[in-house]
Amino acid sequence: MDVPYDLTSYVRVLKMATTPTSEEFLQVSKIAGAGILLVGLVGFLIGAVMVLLTSGGGI
């Protein structure tokens, strides 16, 4: 592991990075929020199925 090389590559990336516009930020936020909701929905459905299977149908 070459530490000076790693540091220079990190600095180069940070110099190239720019602040996103408000439109870009909103688009990324919407996509991330949709992903979070989708993962939560899948988790809820799996939990509901497990409750139904283990308790005989009563929630």
What is the tens place of the pLDDT at every residue in 40-59? Answer: 999 999 999 999 999 865 55
37: alpha, beta or left, given left = phi > 0 and alpha = psi -120 to 50?
alpha
pLDDT at residue 8 in the model: 87
Residue with tokens 């199925």: 49
Ordered alpha helix ranges (H), the chain: 3-16, 22-55
Q: Give the chain's mean pLDDT.
A: 89
CA distances from 10 to 1, 17, 18, 20, 36 (A): 14, 11, 14, 19, 29
Condensed to tens digits (0 to 9), the pLDDT of residues 17-48 reads: 999 999 999 999 999 999 999 999 999 999 99
pLDDT at residue 55 in the model: 82
CB 27 within 8 A of CB 35: no
pLDDT at residue 5 in the model: 74
